């Protein structure tokens, strides 16, 4: 639901991984963990990433509201990114100042486009993750996926996943379909491709529009829409590049806090996804915390599975 029209899809974009120096595991250069009490891990070390029982893929589950209760009323702010980028850092600054973590759903060609690098923003995508926000997926080219063949749907999902993972280091498992459009076929394929959750929203702020049902969309309109419709475990839809989004954000946060809400990310309002066991080879610069975050497990689960 981005404000700009969908451009012609680029032909088979290939993700470009970040350059990392090769590491000789025999040197056993320790990779210090972020927490002093955690075991030291080494480049080249093979770690078991524990799986859950019953990891058979099911169709992706449509989520418009969180299902895991918090200690108090909670709500998640989410931001889609399609083409615009200028307001990314100002938006992140507001979230930092307010102490709020959010969930982002970028179009993968916004993250990296090898054919049009000037129209993609890998540094901004990495900055989102660096600041502790959750990274989801909003497709590759922003099509209505109901109109695609099965092969095209899988291509959209596989390529977008690879780009986001290669650029940010995070493999997303939350998917937000462009235009909020899906059908049983799309959900089945999403589940098979490792997306247990298809994320919709409880509140659409309409920040992508200039007018809605004859009413101009302004900063006041956006703030009122969120505060009037807030609900426990709610999911708020906003966009990077919305004309009034950054201006409305501090007022939204203040108003929701006054109503007793705390802020969380979408993944924390959902049960952990089912997963198969995986063997991961530690890379230079890795920490147990980063590895655990990437694979949706806890540091303690990795320590237990590997007898560290």
SS (H, E, C) 148-167: CCHHHHHHHHHHHHHHHHHH
Question: Is 239 one of the annotated active-site residues of the chain?
Answer: yes
The encoded tokens of residue 14 equal 């290939």
How far is CA 127 from each of CA 124, 240, 266, rounded to the nearest angstrom?
Answer: 5, 14, 19
The count of other CB atoms within 10 Å of the CB of residue 128 is: 26
Question: Is 123 one of the annotated active-site residues of the chain?
Answer: no
Q: Give the active site residue among 2, 80, 207, 267.
A: 80
Distance CA 166, CA 246 (A): 28
Q: Give the active site residue among 138, 207, 239, 286.
A: 239
Catalytic residue list: 80, 239
């Amino acid at each position: 639901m981005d404000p700009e029209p969908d451009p012609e899809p680029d032909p088979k974009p290939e993700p470009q991984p970040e350059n990392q120096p090769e590491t000789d595991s025999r040197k056993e250069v320790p990779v210090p963990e972020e927490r002093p009490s955690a075991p030291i891990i080494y480049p080249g070390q093979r770690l078991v990433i524990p799986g859950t029982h019953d990891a058979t893929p099911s169709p992706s589950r449509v989520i418009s509201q969180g299902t895991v209760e918090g200690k108090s009323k909670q709500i998640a702010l989410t931001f889609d990114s399609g083409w615009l980028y200028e307001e990314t850092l100002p938006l992140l600054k507001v979230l930092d100042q307010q102490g709020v973590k959010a969930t982002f759903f970028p179009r993968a060609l916004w993250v990296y486009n090898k054919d049009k690098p000037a129209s993609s923003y890998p540094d901004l995508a990495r900055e989102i993750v660096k600041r502790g926000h959750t990274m989801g997926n909003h497709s590759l080219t922003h099509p209505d996926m109901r109109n695609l063949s099965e092969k095209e749907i899988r291509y959209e999902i596989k390529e977008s996943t690879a780009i986001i993972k290669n650029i940010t280091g995070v493999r997303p498992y939350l998917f937000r379909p462009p235009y909020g459009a899906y059908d049983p076929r799309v959900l089945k394929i999403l589940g098979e491709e490792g997306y247990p959750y298809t994320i919709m929203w409880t509140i659409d702020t309409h920040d992508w529009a200039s007018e809605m049902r004859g009413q101009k969309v302004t900063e006041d309109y956006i703030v009122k829409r969120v505060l009037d419709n807030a609900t426990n475990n709610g999911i708020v839809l906003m966009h990077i590049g919305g004309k009034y989004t950054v201006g409305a954000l501090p007022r939204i946060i203040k108003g929701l806090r006054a109503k007793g809400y705390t802020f969380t990310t979408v993944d924390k309002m959902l049960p952990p996804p089912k997963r198969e066991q995986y063997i991961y080879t530690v890379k230079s610069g890795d920490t147990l915390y980063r590895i655990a975050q990437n694979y949706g497990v806890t540091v303690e689960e990795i320590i237990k599975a590997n007898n560290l």
